[in-house]
Amino acid sequence: MGENDNRDLLAAMAAELADIRAEIEAAGGLVSEVLRQLPAEARLGYLTRSQSFDVLSQRIEALSGLAQAVADDQPMDTAGRPAPGRDGRADAGDGAPRPARRGPDRGR
Protein backbone atom coordinates (compact mmCIF):
# COMPACT_ATOMS: atom_id res chain seq x y z
CA MET A 1 0.00 0.00 0.00
CA GLY A 2 1.46 3.35 -1.00
CA GLU A 3 1.58 6.54 1.02
CA ASN A 4 -1.35 8.05 -0.88
CA ASP A 5 -3.37 4.89 -0.30
CA ASN A 6 -2.69 5.16 3.42
CA ARG A 7 -3.82 8.78 3.45
CA ASP A 8 -6.97 7.91 1.53
CA LEU A 9 -7.68 5.08 3.98
CA LEU A 10 -7.18 7.38 6.98
CA ALA A 11 -9.42 10.04 5.43
CA ALA A 12 -12.10 7.39 4.82
CA MET A 13 -11.75 6.21 8.43
CA ALA A 14 -12.11 9.78 9.65
CA ALA A 15 -15.30 10.21 7.62
CA GLU A 16 -16.70 6.89 8.87
CA LEU A 17 -15.93 7.81 12.48
CA ALA A 18 -17.68 11.14 11.97
CA ASP A 19 -20.75 9.28 10.68
CA ILE A 20 -20.64 6.93 13.68
CA ARG A 21 -20.45 9.94 15.98
CA ALA A 22 -23.58 11.40 14.40
CA GLU A 23 -25.42 8.11 14.99
CA ILE A 24 -24.28 8.01 18.62
CA GLU A 25 -25.58 11.54 19.11
CA ALA A 26 -28.90 10.57 17.52
CA ALA A 27 -29.18 7.56 19.85
CA GLY A 28 -28.35 9.80 22.81
CA GLY A 29 -31.08 12.19 21.69
CA LEU A 30 -33.59 9.35 21.54
CA VAL A 31 -32.62 8.21 25.04
CA SER A 32 -33.08 11.79 26.27
CA GLU A 33 -36.56 11.90 24.77
CA VAL A 34 -37.49 8.65 26.50
CA LEU A 35 -36.03 9.84 29.81
CA ARG A 36 -38.22 12.94 29.71
CA GLN A 37 -41.23 10.63 29.95
CA LEU A 38 -40.07 9.20 33.29
CA PRO A 39 -41.09 10.67 36.64
CA ALA A 40 -38.51 13.16 37.95
CA GLU A 41 -37.42 10.92 40.83
CA ALA A 42 -36.61 8.04 38.45
CA ARG A 43 -34.98 10.24 35.82
CA LEU A 44 -31.85 11.34 37.69
CA GLY A 45 -30.06 7.98 37.84
CA TYR A 46 -30.72 7.27 34.19
CA LEU A 47 -29.79 10.79 33.14
CA THR A 48 -26.34 10.47 34.69
CA ARG A 49 -25.77 7.13 32.97
CA SER A 50 -27.02 8.45 29.63
CA GLN A 51 -24.23 11.04 29.65
CA SER A 52 -21.93 8.24 28.54
CA PHE A 53 -23.28 8.95 25.04
CA ASP A 54 -21.61 12.36 25.21
CA VAL A 55 -18.31 10.90 26.37
CA LEU A 56 -18.38 8.24 23.66
CA SER A 57 -19.21 10.86 21.05
CA GLN A 58 -16.27 13.00 22.14
CA ARG A 59 -13.90 10.05 22.00
CA ILE A 60 -15.06 9.15 18.49
CA GLU A 61 -14.69 12.81 17.47
CA ALA A 62 -11.10 12.80 18.76
CA LEU A 63 -10.27 9.63 16.82
CA SER A 64 -11.83 11.05 13.68
CA GLY A 65 -9.85 14.27 14.05
CA LEU A 66 -6.63 12.37 14.64
CA ALA A 67 -7.15 10.14 11.59
CA GLN A 68 -7.88 13.20 9.44
CA ALA A 69 -4.84 15.05 10.81
CA VAL A 70 -2.59 12.10 9.98
CA ALA A 71 -4.18 11.84 6.53
CA ASP A 72 -3.48 15.56 6.04
CA ASP A 73 0.14 14.96 7.08
CA GLN A 74 0.01 17.29 10.06
CA PRO A 75 3.01 17.12 12.40
CA MET A 76 2.49 14.58 15.17
CA ASP A 77 3.21 17.13 17.89
CA THR A 78 0.00 18.96 16.94
CA ALA A 79 -2.10 16.31 15.17
CA GLY A 80 -3.23 14.56 18.33
CA ARG A 81 -3.72 17.67 20.42
CA PRO A 82 -7.42 17.95 21.32
CA ALA A 83 -9.32 21.13 21.91
CA PRO A 84 -9.13 22.08 25.62
CA GLY A 85 -11.81 20.51 27.76
CA ARG A 86 -13.17 18.21 25.06
CA ASP A 87 -11.40 14.95 25.83
CA GLY A 88 -11.73 14.16 29.53
CA ARG A 89 -8.05 14.89 30.15
CA ALA A 90 -6.54 17.26 32.63
CA ASP A 91 -3.93 19.87 31.79
CA ALA A 92 -1.10 20.10 34.30
CA GLY A 93 -0.39 23.70 33.33
CA ASP A 94 2.57 22.81 31.15
CA GLY A 95 0.40 22.23 28.07
CA ALA A 96 0.99 18.48 28.12
CA PRO A 97 -2.25 16.49 28.19
CA ARG A 98 -2.57 13.88 30.91
CA PRO A 99 -4.25 10.51 30.34
CA ALA A 100 -7.91 10.26 31.20
CA ARG A 101 -8.57 8.38 34.41
CA ARG A 102 -10.13 4.97 34.00
CA GLY A 103 -11.44 2.61 36.57
CA PRO A 104 -14.55 1.64 38.50
CA ASP A 105 -15.37 5.24 39.35
CA ARG A 106 -15.49 6.09 35.61
CA GLY A 107 -18.02 3.37 34.81
CA ARG A 108 -15.50 1.10 33.09
pLDDT for res 91: 41
**What is the block-wise mean pLDDT of the chain (108 residues), using blocks of 10 residues?**
86 95 94 91 85 92 93 78 47 41 38
pLDDT for res 42: 85
pLDDT for res 41: 85
pLDDT for res 47: 84
Number of domains in the chain: 1
φ/ψ (deg, to 5) at 61: -60, -40
Q: Report how far residue 103's alpha carbon sits from residue 97's, in angstroms, rounded to the nearest whole number.
A: 19
Domain range for 10 is 3-106
pLDDT for res 13: 94
Burial state string for 55-71 with b = 16 or more CB within 10 A and e = fewer than 16: ebbbbbbbbbbbbbbbb
pLDDT for res 49: 85
pLDDT for res 48: 83
First to last CA, the chain: 37
- E strands of the chain, at which residues? none
